[in-house]
Amino acid sequence: MLGLLAPTDARWASVALADLDAVLRDHAHCEMKAASHALSLAARHPDDLALVRKLVALAQEELAHYDQVLGLLASRGIALGPPPVDEYAAALHAAVAKRQGSGGSIAPKARGLVDRLLVSALIEARSCERFKLLADAMGEHHELFRFYSELFAAEARHHRDLVDLARGVADGAAEGGTLLVTERLAELAALEAEIVRARATAPDRATIHG
């Protein structure tokens, strides 16, 4: 799905479904982190007004989702609490920082931006896959089925938007930029899959990327 190279362990959905409070808490933090990350990328690239506006629009949508999840927490009397450690995202960012791609003729600043956009795109893809698994495990009569089905579609769209933004940046930075993005996305998807496989031995956490 969406270029992901390792499917989520089949046991994950039942672990998540058994502790929906924890899933909702973690999910809320994921939306906030996605919004903050989009805004920090926007703030770092004030030279590209079109990119900034698209990232701000993305952040606004993430914040709207964040507020939707917070509304669910409030109506269920669940405390938000501090964010759980997101080992998946930490491992992904660390792996990308370690294995810098050659990036062909793209300047380092644009290459870093492309990588950050593609990492965000992969995280959206993984959230998308998990929301789909969760909705399927819930079944259509579950009170949160529609919510997770709608978010599943939104995450897929964010994935595509972020890859498109990366292509735009790479195209503006070097000839053949689009091709470089396709190659880099495959490399990063392989890294992401390694991380997911390494964690699949312990699918015991009711978190979005647990």
Q: Which residues bind its own copies (CB under 8 A)?
A: 29, 32, 35-36, 39, 42-43, 46-47, 49-50, 52-53, 56-57, 59-60, 63-64, 66-67, 70-71, 73-74, 79-83
| DSSP states along 34-99 | HHHHHHHHHHH-TT-HHHHHHHHHHHHHHHHHHHHHHHHHHHHT----SPPP-HHHHHHHHHHHHS
Residue whose CB is less far from its own copies, 72 or 181? 72
Angstrom distance (rounded) from CA 131 to CA 126: 9
CB of 138 to its own copies, least distance (A): 24
CB of 207 to its own copies, least distance (A): 15
Contact 32, 66 (CB under 8 A): yes
CB of 8 to its own copies, least distance (A): 26
CB of 14 to its own copies, least distance (A): 27
Residue whose CB is less far from its own copies, 4 or 56? 56
Residue whose CB is less far from its own copies, 123 or 188? 123
* Tokens matching residue 51: 């990119």
In terms of phi and psi (left: phi > 0; alpha: psi -120 to 50; beta: otherwise), the region of 174 is beta
Residue whose CB is less far from its own copies, 6 or 24? 24
* Tokens matching residue 159: 């994935």
Nearest CA to 5 among 209, 198, 197? 197
Residue whose CB is less far from its own copies, 52 or 195? 52
* Tokens matching residue 157: 């769209």
CB of 39 to its own copies, least distance (A): 6
Nearest CA to 90 among 55, 114, 119? 119
* Tokens matching residue 160: 């595509």
Residue whose CB is less far from its own copies, 70 or 95? 70
CB of 148 to its own copies, least distance (A): 21
